[in-house]
Amino acid sequence: MGKCYAAALGNCNGISREHYYSEAILSQFFPQLQIEGFTFNSASHKSLCSKILCQTHNSSLAPLDSEALHFFSLLRNISLNKEIIASHQINGKLLERWFLKTLLGLLAAKQIKIDMELSCHKKLINILYGNQPWDESTGLHFVFPENRFEIDTTLGNSIIAKNCYLFRICNLHFVLTTENVSVKDLLPNYKSGYRSKGLTFQQRTDLSIEIDFQWNENSTN
């Protein structure tokens, strides 16, 4: 029987079968998924499930999943030259917490091993549920190789250093930091930006697509 990793917050009910990478994203975005960095060799969507959250604590994170799905669908459409709308807005705070949800899910499902103090784990759960702000300079970094990226259908994750986690999704790199560490020093060959304001993609000569990220406190939830 699984246990809800957010049990310390109280009000748990029946355990759900949650994917540590959100199901909507897996099924719509990665129909032919390849996995790296997991403890098993071949993965199906089903094997990415684990009983790690109860229904209450799972459903209250639904806005994170829908914002991440919006963002990744946009990237997919851009990579397929299908996007025609020039300007988009993404709530950076929700996207950032989605990466935290993924990290805590991987941890709860024992897919990654992190030496983390209980107090730090508790703090991250409070941040995940919006009960506590991120520590200064921690959270989501956008990290891109210097050259142009190509979007593929791989998904992977790795631990770069203590408190610094890399997610590779469709050849895009995202780093989540849970302490104030220098991503620039850890990944010198990458261009990195902490809580980037936006991304611009040149879709065609006559169409550039902008994704703006909102980071103000009011845009939480």
CB closer to Zn ion, 57 vs 141: 57
Which stretch in 57-65, 111-119, 181-189, 202-210 sits in contact with Zn ion by CB under 5 A?
Answer: 57-65
Query: With contacts defined by CB under 5 A, how many residues of the chain interact with Zn ion?
Result: 5
Minimum distance between the CB of residue 28 and Zn ion, rounded to whole angstroms? 26
Minimum distance between the CB of residue 14 and Zn ion, rounded to whole angstroms? 9
Minimum distance between the CB of residue 101 and Zn ion, rounded to whole angstroms? 13
Minimum distance between the CB of residue 121 and Zn ion, rounded to whole angstroms? 15
- The footprint of Zn ion on residues 2-21 (CB under 5 A) is 4, 6, 12
CB closer to Zn ion, 1 vs 80: 1
Burial of 128 (0-12, 13-18, 19+ CB in 10 A): buried
Q: Residue 67, Cβ neighbours under 10 Å: how many?
A: 19
Selected binder of Zn ion within 22, 25, 57, 64 (CB under 5 A): 57
Selected binder of Zn ion within 54, 78, 143, 209 (CB under 5 A): 54
Minimum distance between the CB of residue 135 and Zn ion, rounded to whole angstroms? 24
Which stretch in 38-46, 53-61, 144-152, 183-191 sits in contact with Zn ion by CB under 5 A?
Answer: 53-61
Which stretch in 48-56, 79-87, 98-106, 192-200 sits in contact with Zn ion by CB under 5 A?
Answer: 48-56
Contact residues toward Zn ion (CB under 5 A) are 4, 6, 12, 54, 57
